[in-house]
Amino acid sequence: MAATGTATTSPLPPRARGALLWLRENLFSSWGNTLLTLLALWLIWQAVTTVLGWAVLDATWQGKDGSACHAGGACWPFASAWFGQFMYGRYPEPERWRVNLTYALALAGLVPLMVPRVPGKPWTLLYLLAAFPVLAVILLSGGVLGLAHVPTDLWGGLLVTLVIASTGIAAAFPLGIVLALGRRSAMPIVRWLSIGFIEVIRGVPLITVLFMASVMLPLFLPEQWTIDKLVRALIMVALFSAAYMAEVIRGGLQAIPRGQFEAADALGLSWAQKMGLIVLPQALKLTIPGMVGTFIGLFKDTSLVLIIGIFDLLGIAHAASAAPAWLSPSTPMTAYAVAGFIFWIFCFGMSRYSQMLERRLEAGGERVVAKAAYE
Amino acid sequence: MAALTRPGRANGLAGLLYRPEVRRVVYQVLILGAVAFAAWWVVDNVAANLRRQGIVAGLDFLGETAGFDISQSLIAYSNLSTYGRAFWVGLLNTLLVAVLGIVAATVIGFVIGIARLSSNWLVARLAGAYVEIARNLPLLLQLFFWYAAVLQTLPSPRQSYVLPLGAYLNVRGLHLPAPVAQPGFWAVALALAAGLAVAVAVWFWARRRQALTGERFPAFWTGLAAIVVLPLLAFLAAGLAFAVAVWFWARRRQALTGERFPAFWTGLAAIVVLPLLAFLAAGSPLRFDYPQLQGFNFQGGITLLPELIALLLGLSIYTASFIAEIVRAGILGVSKGQTEAAQALGLSRGRTLRLVVVPQAARIIIPPLTSQYLNLTKNSSLAVAIGYPDLVNVFAGTVLNQTNKHAVEVILITMGVFLTLSLLTSLFMNWFNRRMALVEG
């Protein structure tokens, strides 16, 4: 039998290798699987032909107003005519370089902060949280240093979306830390106040909070005080996201082993030293993916401000879809497609970034708090 | 820490402040004072502002005539009804869209979540694409898309799309045949209730028997049958013969083995046979009212408003993408060793899933699932943007605009409703977690 041994171990038939084998194992392993594959192929075919037909084949590429757009596909001349509005709202055209400069300043801080290899994170964070907001307000609002004043009701589009989301998250960050520490405090009054605030905010929809900003906030303040509509929305969005941020940070605090607290106590550190030097640096690192998740949720939810009359990216799309000059059956779809594409790029990019961070932290053996608790 | 601060005690008042317990009290008194001052300041401002505008706060306005129409109402309502009535109409509409949305989102979410784990490469990728698209677009944008870009471009009633079973779809909404109970329908309803009672009784009995004898019993499926199969089979005439056959089979099996009483089938048969007998005895007392084109619109049947359809589509598709991720994480969260151990014990694939994987995955899935349900309910408030008459639209929208003087009360009531819902949810969650912890221990 030993002589025939080589004959029995002949290699596998060549056609069962490579792509064909992969196809058979992953797509056609059984009858049911084959059916599923065919169904999936059909769905993909439907989706691709619908989208391609709408966006390219049936689309209108030339035209001066809505009367040109009756082919049933996208109305691209409308999108290019309104593109400036989508980006800046009614921000005066000669002043738009200021918005772009603000974006550049933000990127100058964000890029080094987001690339893990670049050193000096505390300084970049300090720049973003302390210097940049001042610069941004001066640049965007103007009225000083020879810059013309641009009132906030002219702001719109992606600019407002970014302003609300980033202000919201920047203000929610310190507030969230305070609330999270308060919720874990040994002092009952502090604890109950924090729990009350967090749970009430998390229990109501953002829209009621925004309604509160537009109808109730003026009542809360003395008669002579008036607050800009955008600022009112900003305050409410910040308070709202602070409650969610607090829950993410609390998750991070809970993930810190008890030994760290005890070691800090044993060294005789004060409460502020213990939290600031030992606990928070570790906890916040763990919560970065969760915070990015919260930011994605907040970024999507900024679109709700259109209900109280602020024109963010979606608000502009909504207004544009009913613009008299471009009235056509395909205008709304084009407007929402453009806005949706921009929203999607931002959210998808951020979610991928957060997944990358999560993997890095997990590779470092950390217990990651990925739960955003905010969707 | 206490040891380090103790020496300070000797230095009188200043030393006293170094004692942690004293400092805690001082901090808390200061914080409470600041919060109380802020609250007083706000209340004082509100009172001053209201006084200046000559407004008397209170809930009396709820008894005033509303004077506006609501496009969809589950209870009797006209423009002569009160604001209080309008509140209930809005609340019921919110609950309606929340319940329908939760059912749809759960079904889609579980299908997509399981599809993401499929061994079929293409299906898994397709499900992944669904999740990445649906959860990375703002819900409000999705609502506008469905409402303004899809449903508003449907044809007029005269050019309606004709759907199977006498349904029509057009720009005014989806027109469905409405079941109309004829005299004598109460008998069927009664039989349904009786069948349900029998199923519940069987379930309890099975639980006790399992506790006593350790014999397993498919109580989950009995429950599922009571909830899902019951309304469906109740009206299938063919089901009668089937149920009776099963009944006899069950009896014979019991007589032969004596040991394992097949109460599942008993329950099923009870549910199916009783309503069917009642249905036939009363002479099929259920007719359908079909929608018919009269003039420019459809009359009769049930009409689902385009606003409701858009809201349901948006809410369920958006929430389903999150539910899918929860389901996926839950199934992946059950360690592979559990499945392998079950297979080593000789359990079939179905039993492995049902008895080993699902109960453990449920423990991971249910808490975040509940919070998604709550999110969906809160998100239903976006109805205001497309004009579906939910609580926020009717009450915090129209009522607030009409009774501008009572803005504070209206907003507080609206928030109170959502807070109550979320409180009930967290109570359920606490109960559930306790129960799960008990099982584990």
The boundaries of the domain holding residue B204 are 185-288
B386 close to B147: Cβ distance less than 8 angstroms: yes
Using an 8 Å CB-CB cutoff, list chain A residues near B148.
318, 321, 332, 336
Q: Are residues A162 and A147 in the same domain?
A: no
Please report residues of A whose CB lies closer than 8 A to that of B1.
265, 268
Nearest one of A87, A83, A51, A81 to A69, comparing CA atoms: A81
Q: Is A155 on the interface with B (CB under 8 A)?
A: no
- Would an 8 Å CB–CB cutoff place A224 in contact with chain B? no
Q: Are residues B109 and B39 in the same domain?
A: no
User: What residues of chain A lie within 8 A of the CB of B400, using their CB?
Assistant: 211, 215
Inter-chain contact A205–B140, Cβ cutoff 8 Å? Answer: no
Q: What is the mean pLDDT of residues A310-318?
A: 87
A51 touches chain B (CB under 8 A): no
A228-234 mean pLDDT: 85
Q: Which of A27, A314, A375 sits opposite B122 (nearest CB)?
A: A27
- Distance in angstroms (rounded) separating the CA atoms of residues A58 and A154: 35
Contact B418 A193 (CB under 8 A): no
B435: in domain: yes
Contact call for B136 and A351, based on CB within 8 A? yes
Q: Measure Cα distances from A65 to A37, A53, A76, A149 in Å.
A: 44, 21, 11, 32
Contact check, Cβ <8 Å, A332/B149: yes
The number of folded domains in chain A is: 2
Q: Which of A121, A137, A154 is the last residue of a domain?
A: A154
Closest residue in A to B124 (Cα) is A40
The answer to whether residues A147 and A161 belong to one domain is: no
Same domain, B435 and B324: yes
pLDDT number for residue B273: 66
pLDDT of residue B238: 41
pLDDT in tens, B39-79: 898 888 888 888 887 777 777 777 777 777 787 777 877 77
Residue B413 lies in a domain: yes
Closest by Cα among A345, A335, A369, A346 to A299: A346
Are A303 and A338 in the same domain? yes
pLDDT tens for A8-50 read 666 665 555 677 777 777 777 777 788 888 888 999 998 898 8
Q: How far is CA A298 from the centre of its chain?
A: 6
Residue B420: per-residue pLDDT: 92
Contact indicator for B285, B182 with CB cutoff of 8 Å: yes
Among A208, A215, A222, the residue with its CB nearest the CB of B418 is A208
Contact A223 B1 (CB under 8 A): no
Task: Compare CB distances from B140 to A27, A304, A373 and report the shortest one's residue.
Answer: A304
In DSSP terms, which residues pair with B168 in a beta bridge? B162, B175
Question: Under DSSP, is residue B72 helix (H, G, I), strand (E, B) or coil?
Answer: coil
Tally of CB atoms within 10 A around B19:
15
pLDDT at position A253 over 70: yes
Instruction: State how far residue A362 is from chain B, nearest Cα, in angstroms.
Output: 16
Mean pLDDT of chain A: 81
Give the sign of the dihedral formed by CA A60, CA A64, CA A66, CA A70: negative
Same domain, B48 and B89: no
Q: For chain B, say whether A181 makes contact (Cβ under 8 Å).
A: no
Together in a domain, A217 and A258: yes
Give me the percent of chain B exceeding a pLDDT of 90.
16
> Taking Cα atoms as reference points, which of B337, B327, B339 lies closest to residue B364?
B327
Q: Where are the alpha helices (DSSP H) in B352-406?
A: 358-379, 383-386, 391-393, 400-402
Taking an 8 Å cut-off on Cβ atoms, the answer to whether A306 and B423 are in contact is no
What mean pLDDT do residues B324-331 have?
A: 89
| CATH at residue B88 | 1.10.3720.10
Beta bridge partners of B161: B169
Cα first-last separation, chain A = 67
Contact A304, A207 (CB under 8 A): yes
Write the residue in B35, B133, B140 that is nearest to A193 by C-beta. B35
Is residue B228 domain-resident? Answer: yes
Is residue A329 in a domain? yes
Within 8 A by CB and 6+ apart from A180, the residues are A194, A245, A246, A247, A249, A250, A253
Instruction: Tell me: do A227 and A125 sit in the same domain.
Output: no
Q: Do A259 and A298 belong together in one domain?
A: yes
Number of domain units in chain B: 3
**Least CB-CB distance to A207: which of B48, B145, B381?**
B381
**Neighbour count for residue A239 (Cβ, 10 Å):** 17
Is A312 within 8 Å of chain B by CB? no
Which of B288, B305, B331 is where one domain is finished? B288
Same domain? For A232 and A338 the reply is yes
Interchain contact A349–B (C-beta under 8 A): no
Both B336 and B407 in a single domain? yes
> B215 or A344: which carries more pLDDT confidence?
A344
| Chain B interface includes A193 (CB < 8 A) | yes
CB-based contact, A341 to chain B, within 8 Å: no
Inter-chain contact A208–B382, Cβ cutoff 8 Å?
A: no
Q: Provide the domain limits for residue A146.
A: 95-154
CB distance A303–B423 less than 8 Å? no
Say yes or no for a CB contact (<8 Å) between B152 and A268.
no
Q: Is residue B256 located within the same domain as residue B332? A: no
Banded model confidence at residue A283, pLDDT cuts 50, 70, 90 = confident
- How near does any CA of chain B get to the CA of A314, in Å? 7
The answer to whether position A67 is within a domain reads no
Q: What is the pLDDT of residue B73?
A: 77
Scanning the structure block, which residue is given the tokens 């259920």?
B286
- Residue A3 confidence (pLDDT) above 70: no
A105 lies in the same domain as A205: no
Q: Chain B contacts of A316, Cβ < 8 Å?
A: none
pLDDT in the model for residue B191: 66
Burial group, residue B344, by CB count within 10 angstroms (0-12, 13-18, 19+): exposed
pLDDT reported for residue B320: 94
> Shortest CB distance from B400 goes to which of A215, A339, A348?
A215
Same-domain pairing of A196 and A260? yes
Smallest CA–CA distance, residue B120 to chain A, in Å, is 5
Give the pLDDT mean for A293-302: 87
Determine, yes or no, domain membership for B379.
yes
Q: What is the tens place of the pLDDT at every residue in A162-203? A: 888 888 888 888 899 999 999 888 888 888 989 889 988 988
Task: Tell me whether residues B45 and A221 touch, CB distance under 8 A.
Answer: yes
Q: Residues B436, B396: one domain?
A: yes
Q: What is the pLDDT of residue B127?
A: 92
Chain centroid offset of residue B186 CA: 28
A75 in helix, strand or coil? Answer: strand
Q: How many CB atoms lie within 10 A of CB B137?
A: 25
Instruction: Assess whether B200 and B97 both reside in one domain.
Output: no
Q: Is there a single domain that holds both residue A354 and residue A253?
A: yes
Residue A62 included in any domain: no
At residue A122, the pLDDT reads 78
Question: Which of B119, B138, B423 lies at the smallest CB-CB distance from A203?
Answer: B423
* Measured CA distances, A340 to A114, A119, B261 (Å): 24, 35, 58
Beta-carbon pairs below 8 A across chains A and B: 163
Residue A80 included in any domain:
no
**Domain contains B10:** yes
Q: Strands, E, within B212-264: which ranges?
A: none
B339 with B430, same domain: the answer is: yes
pLDDT of residue A373: 43
Nearest CA in chain A to B414: A208
CB contact under 8 A, A306 and B136: no
Asked if residue B312 is part of any domain, the answer here is no
Residue B283's SS3 state is coil
Is A189 close to B4, i.e. CB distance below 8 A? no
- Residue ranges of A 200-219 with Cβ closer than 8 A to chain B: 200, 202-205, 207-208, 211-212, 215-216, 218-219
**In this complex, do B136 and A296 lie within 8 Å of one another by their Cβ atoms?**
yes
Residues A252 and A328 in one domain: yes
Nearest CA-CA partner of A294 in A108, A138, A132, A169: A169
| B307, part of any domain | no
Dmax (CA) for chain B in angstroms is: 95
Q: Residue A301: which CATH number?
A: 1.10.3720.10
The alpha carbon of residue A40 is apart from the nearest alpha carbon of chain B, in Å, by 6
A200: which chain B residues are within 8 Å (Cβ-Cβ)? 415, 419
Instruction: Give yes or no: residues A118 and A241 share one domain.
Output: no
pLDDT value at residue B1: 44
Contact B45 A219 (CB under 8 A): yes
Q: Does A272 touch chain B (CB under 8 A)?
A: no
Select from B154, B415, B423, B430 the residue whose CB has the most chain A CBs within 10 Å, as the one to mutate to test that interface. Answer: B415
Query: With an 8 Å Cβ cutoff, are B138 and A26 in contact?
Result: no
CB contact under 8 A, B137 and A340: yes
Between residues B199 and B399, which one has the greater pLDDT? B399
> What own/partner pairs with CB < 8 Å and gap ≥ 24 does B400-406 have?
B400/A211, B400/A215, B402/B66, B402/B67, B402/B68, B403/B61, B403/B64, B403/B83, B405/B53, B405/B55, B405/B61, B406/B55, B406/B57, B406/B61
Assess if residue A149 is contained within a domain: yes
Nearest to B120 among A27, A265, A318 (CB): A27
DSSP codes of every residue in A158-198: HHHHHHHHHHHHHHHHHHHHHHHHHHT-S-HHHHHHHHHHH
Average pLDDT over residues B117-124: 85
Lowest mean pLDDT, pick from A233-237, A249-253, B235-239: B235-239
The answer to whether residue B271 sits within a structural domain is yes
| Interface pTM, i.e. ipTM | 0.84
